[in-house]
């Protein structure tokens, strides 16, 4: 990319990289690091015409909850109970949006949440 003087790096972070939540100190710290790397790369690579973007999803239904709860599918499913979480296609749409901007436009950061999620720990759940 440096030799070509063009390219685009998109890092997938998390809303946890923007604000912390109880019990998430290690995960939040790693996502804050992703955001710091993204910002640093953006500064270092701008002179080469390389764009650097990040996407910070809120609640997205992935295998993460299953891993987090050590394979307990009921606990993993309960994370999203009463709301409609993001899915992989929602994040892919954001990636597509970023990479299809004109050459003179750079989307630095996108935070994307489900409509029922206000921040890392406040969500409206239908009961």
Q: Can you give the pTM of this predicted structure?
A: 0.92
Report the sign of the C-alpha dihedral through residues 90, 93, 109, 115, in that order.
negative
Select from 117, 85, 113, 4 the least CA-distant residue to 51: 4
**45-80 pLDDT, tens digit each:** 999 999 999 999 999 998 888 898 999 999 999 999
| 127 occurs within a structural domain | no
Structurally, the chain folds into a number of domains equal to 1
Q: What SS3 state is found at 84? A: coil
- Asked whether residue 127 carries a pLDDT value surpassing 80, the answer given is no
In whole angstroms, what is the distance from residue 127 CA to residue 46 CA? 48
**Structural domain range at position 46:** 7-112
In a domain, 92, yes or no: yes
Catalytic, out of 21, 27, 69, 80: 27
- Retrieve residue 109's tokens: 């950061």
- Judge whether 124 lies within some domain: no
Residue-wise pLDDT tens digits, 32-41:
999 999 999 9
Let me know if residue 46 belongs to a domain: yes
Assign residue 71 a region (left: φ > 0; alpha: ψ between -120 and 50; beta: otherwise).
left
What is the domain-level CATH number for residue 70? Answer: 3.40.50.720
Q: What is the mean pLDDT of residues 73-99?
A: 95
In a domain, 98, yes or no: yes
> Quick check: is 27 catalytic?
yes
User: Does 122 map to a domain?
Assistant: no
String of DSSP letters for 37-64: HHHHHHHHHGGGTEEEEEEEESSB-STH
Task: Give domain status of residue 119, yes or no.
Answer: no
β-partners of residue 12 are: 55
In eight-state DSSP terms, residue 83 is S
- Strand, helix or coil at 109? strand
Whether 11 has a pLDDT exceeding 80, the answer reads yes
pLDDT value of position 68 = 86
Residue 1 within a domain: no
Segment 86-92 shows an average pLDDT of: 97
Q: In this model, does residue 6 exceed pLDDT 80?
A: yes
């Amino acid at each position: 990319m440096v030799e070509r003087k063009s390219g685009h790096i998109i890092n997938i972070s998390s809303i946890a990289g923007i604000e912390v939540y109880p019990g998430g100190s290690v995960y939040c710290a790693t996502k804050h690091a992703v955001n710091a790397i993204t910002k640093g790369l953006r500064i270092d690579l701008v002179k080469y015409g390389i764009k650097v973007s990040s996407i910070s999803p809120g609640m997205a239904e992935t295998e993460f909850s299953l891993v987090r709860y050590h394979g307990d599918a009921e606990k993993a499913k309960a994370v999203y109970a009463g709301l409609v979480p993001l899915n992989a296609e929602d994040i892919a749409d954001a990636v597509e949006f970023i990479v299809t901007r004109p050459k003179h436009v750079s989307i630095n950061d996108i935070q994307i949440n489900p409509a029922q999620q206000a921040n890392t720990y406040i969500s409206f759940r239908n009961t």
